[in-house]
Amino acid sequence: MNVTLRGHTQHFRTVAFDAAENSVLLIEQRLLPHEFKIVATPNFRATAAAITDMVVRGAGAIGATAAYGLAQGALDFRGRDLKKFSAHVEAVYQVLKNARPTAVDPVNAMNDVRRHMSPGQTVAERQFLALAAVEEFAREDVRHCEAIGRHGAKLIRNGMKILTHCNAGWLAFVDIGTATAPLYAAQVQGKKFHVFCDETRPRSQGATLTAWELAQQKISHQIIADNAAGHLMQRGEIDLVIVGGDRTLGRTGEVANKIGTYTKAVLAARHNIPFYVAIPLSTIDWNLKRGFDIPIEERHESEVLGAWGMISNPKSEIRNPRLVRRAYVRIANPTSGAVNPGFDVTPGELITGIITPLGIFKPQELWLRRHELGFELQ
């Protein structure tokens, strides 16, 4: 998507590749929204470290980064011995896999690249196939998000006020994003609308990443405390909710997503506000039988007890504050602890529709139309 730097607007992908330098280009997401910087990783180990250290985050984006890292590692190989090359690629694969051990996207993406490499008869041929495969993987990620945007934009009418939670934006994918894709597509169609970004405590991805994305795309938006959405709905200020999904159960239509998503779904149902989840097909889990069995990551309590930000003066110009330096402040009582579940599970009954690259489905339809949606017996 577009980023405006010193008055010049340029297009960037979250993850890209510099073939001449054999390096992966990543937006340094830990500096956002306060600073925009592109990092070029010199080798596959640096690419793995960027995943571990959360320079890049978001399911689609780390999948593509690992795939690029695998091609990068393969291209670094010197020699013609296919056996040694295979052992090298296996080692690269393991390093990248261990960069974020619980994530499934890097593994799926790298398996895809390996499948495409294997017909190659020489090292050079396999290297070429690896690069071609990862470029196609990234293009496909973009095409899927574009298709989500095309289907989702039909839901957006002029004058609508739309609520989002967390960040399932272009920073979480190679480009465009999922929950944000309908917004960007509707904007291209010339529709006028306003977005409320839930802050999304404790990590505030709505206030930092989503708000930054929307500001760069010049989409009208305001940040709200997570506590305020219910009041706005009660006053008729929200017409539509669109969120992303980390894992969707194909059998039940339940969606696991960032903590707080369930609350917004309950509120939307009470106010008869349509609640949509936008996801790529790769996040559908066809095996798990009930949402209760989805493991919920318990994250570190320091996220709840404080916050990261730029030290500044709240009385200075609030729209362009003078920012001093990044710091963690302890907000909470220093002798108290916290519980910090990272995700929650929204039942299908609260979800109006699931926006996929193949169209919008009722949660209950997923299983019936599973063959169309890429269900494979495992």
Which residues are tagged catalytic?
Answer: 246
Q: Is there a cis peptide before residue 202, judged by omega within 30 degrees of 0? A: yes
Residue 284, token pair as written in the block: 């559908």
Give the strands of the sheet with 284-285, arranged side by side. Answer: 284-285, 247-249, 255-258, 343-346
Contacts for 5 with CB less than 8 Å, ≥ 6 apart: 36
Rounded to a whole number of angstroms, the minimum distance from the CB of residue 57 to its own copies is 17
Minimum separation from the CB atom of position 62 to its own copies (A): 22
Nearer to its own copies by Cβ, of 34 and 362: the residue is 34
Asked if 374 is part of the footprint of its own copies (rule: CB under 8 A), the reply reads no
The correct pick among 338, 358, 365, 369 for binding its own copies (CB under 8 A) is 338
Q: In angstroms, what CA-CA distances link 145 with 80, 124, 310, 314? A: 39, 32, 32, 37
Whole-angstrom Cα distance, residue 62 to residue 76? 21
Residue placing its CB nearer to its own copies in the complex, 265 or 373? 265
222 binds its own copies per the rule CB under 8 A: yes
Six token digits for residue 348: 């299908």
Segment near its own copies (CB under 8 A); pick from 8-16, 59-67, 87-95, 323-331: 323-331
Q: Does 183 bind its own copies (CB under 8 A)?
A: no
Region near its own copies per CB under 8 A, out of 67-75, 94-102, 149-157, 205-213? 205-213
| Amino acid at residue number 216 | Q
| Residue 224 near its own copies by CB under 8 A | yes
Q: Is 239 in the site for its own copies (CB under 8 A)?
A: no
For residue 218, give every residue at least 6 positions away whose Cβ sits within 8 Å of its Cβ, in sequence order, or none: none
192 is a site residue for its own copies (CB under 8 A): no
Shortest distance in whole angstroms from residue 209 CB to its own copies? 8
| Binding-site member from 120, 274, 321, 359 for its own copies (CB under 8 A) | 321
Q: Closer to its own copies by CB, 319 or 371: give it.
A: 319
What is the amino acid identity at position 245? G
What end-to-end distance do the CA atoms of the chain give, in Å? Answer: 36
User: Cα–Cα distance between 84 and 260 in angstroms, integer?
Assistant: 49
Residue 328 in contact with its own copies, rule: CB under 8 A: yes
Q: Candidates 276-284, 295-303, 351-359, 369-377 — which segment interacts with its own copies by CB under 8 A?
A: 295-303
How far is CA 341 from each of CA 263, 306, 336, rounded to the nearest angstrom? 14, 15, 17
Q: Which of 344, 354, 357, 366 lies at the binding interface for its own copies (CB under 8 A)? A: 344
Backbone angles phi, psi at 29, to 5 degrees: -75, -20
Residues 263-282 that bind its own copies (CB under 8 A): 263, 266-267, 270
Specify the residue for token string 């190679």: 174
Residues 109-138 touching its own copies, rule: CB under 8 A, are none
Choose which of 30, 34, 150, 370 interacts with its own copies (CB under 8 A): 34
